[in-house]
Amino acid sequence: MAGTAVVARRIGEKNVDGAVGAAVQVILLGLVVSAIVGVLGTWFVLELLRFIGASRAVIKIGAGYTRIMLGGNATVVLIFIINAVFRGAGDAAIAMRILWFANVINILLAPCFVFGLGPFPTLGLTGAAIATNIGRACGVLYQLYFLMRGSGQFRLRFQHLHLKPLVMLGILRIGMSGVAQNLLFSIAWIGMVKIIAQFGSAALAGYTIAVRVLMFAILPACGLPSAGATLVGQNLGAGQPARAESAIKYAVRYNTLMLGFAGALYLIVAVPIMRLFTQDTATLNHGVHALRIMALGFPCYAAGLCWVSVFNGAGDTWTPTILIFVCLWLCELPLAWFLSNYSGPIGASSAVLVAYTLLATVAGVLFRRGGWKLKKI
């Protein structure tokens, strides 16, 4: 978030050298954060799995996978940070190509490591983690190649490779609230998993599959909010707040149409979709209910993603952080716990729908007030 906001603002100000310097500081901060997460995640992997309610059998199968994914988190941190830099510079096409490249390698290597195809060892679930990290690492190398080769004036040169404490401090001010946003999302997800887990493995498996299916539509829909954040930053840097507001209105309109269509599709074909992933009757039923309930909120998710991106693109990352805390922690988790006591996993899924609808509504009101236009970074 900080990378996109600061780089986009400098690009809008026609300060390309400042944009590249900011990109270097963001990457250095990402390396520090990923090192801390890697050490703590690797050390406490068993405790983390026990905390979310994993059984002994699940821990035995998943500990190696989780340890490798957390230990190698630098690959995913860097791939997202450097892609954010490219988007802030207005070159989202490179970010897309890099993700395609990394994922194709992951897709090709995963069955080799999981099932032991050809010369590869049979590593099961742990092999999937190895393949994922190799794919992401290749993506990072591809990113660094583009960053050093550059396009036009936006090119990383030797003189940029040094610490800039004031720039880093400004990025930290924006980035820490961005970190808080993602932590709030992640911990809220863990909380939901813990609530669902009390109803058994079938309920948890069905809910998890449903969320993954939903993300198949939501993640592509993040493209328009990402573009909106870039346009907000660049236009505010260029002194054109009205143009920034207009860009977000278009993003909201098209994103709502796209996700609204996806939500309607999920409502109609929820059963066939879930059958692609499981034949267990209990898991299938739980997954279908969760998929249909949460898909009802797709139009609100679409608009909310765009409105939240306005604040992040403007560098006002504390506003969405507070919104996420209120809607997910003070609304979703207590409501999920309360409703699940009366209607089981269906109640928990309904709480997700309510929370994200509330988030979109409040974010839309704050967007119209326009305080984000005055943010200086």
Q: For the segment 129-151, what is each residue's pLDDT rounded down to a tens digit?
A: 999 999 999 999 999 888 888 65
| pLDDT computed for residue 170 by the predictor | 83
Token pair in block for residue 190: 């863990």
| pLDDT computed for residue 134 by the predictor | 96
| pLDDT computed for residue 263 by the predictor | 93
Q: For the segment 298-325, what is each residue's pLDDT rounded down to a tens digit?
A: 999 999 999 999 998 888 888 999 999 9
| pLDDT computed for residue 62 by the predictor | 87
* Residue 341 reports pLDDT greater than 70: yes
| pLDDT computed for residue 19 by the predictor | 85
User: N- to C-terminal Cα distance for the chain?
Assistant: 13
Q: For the segment 30-69, what is each residue's pLDDT rounded down to a tens digit?
A: 898 899 999 998 999 999 888 877 788 888 888 999 999 9
| pLDDT computed for residue 87 by the predictor | 84
| pLDDT computed for residue 161 by the predictor | 79
d(CA 128, CA 109): 8
* Residue 154 reports pLDDT greater than 80: no
d(CA 327, CA 247): 26
Per-residue DSSP letters for 69-123? HHHTHHHHHHHHHHHHHHHHTT-HHHHHHHHHHHHHHHHHHHHHHHHT-TTS---
Q: Which of 11-25, 49-63, 225-239, 292-306 has the highest mean pLDDT?
A: 292-306
Q: Which residue, among 18, 52, 299, has the nearest Cα to 160 in the 3D structure?
A: 18
| pLDDT computed for residue 118 by the predictor | 85
pTM of this structure? 0.74
Coil/strand/helix, residue 200: coil
Distances (CA, A) of 39 to 36, 134, 137, 189, 293: 5, 19, 18, 22, 38
Q: In whole numbers, what is the pLDDT of the chain averaged over residues? A: 89
Task: Indicate the pLDDT class of residue 153, thresholds 50, 70 and 90.
Answer: low
Provide, rounded to the nearest whole percent, the portion of the chain with pLDDT above 70.
99
Per the CB < 8 A criterion, the answer to whether 273 and 208 are in contact is no
* Residue 374 reports pLDDT greater than 90: no
Residues 6+ apart with CB under 8 A from 246: none
Coil/strand/helix, residue 218: helix
| pLDDT computed for residue 133 by the predictor | 95
| pLDDT computed for residue 77 by the predictor | 92
Q: 38-69 burial, b if ≥16 CB within 10 A, otherwise e?
A: beebbeebeebbeeebbeeeeeeebbbbbbbb
Task: Please report, for the chain, the start and end positions of each structural domain, with discontinuous segments joined by +.
Answer: 1-163, 174-377
* Residue 248 reports pLDDT greater than 70: yes
State the amino acid at position 153 in one-letter form.
Q
Per the CB < 8 A criterion, the answer to whether 173 and 139 are in contact is no
* Residue 152 reports pLDDT greater than 70: no
Task: Indicate the pLDDT class of residue 243, thresholds 50, 70 and 90.
Answer: very high
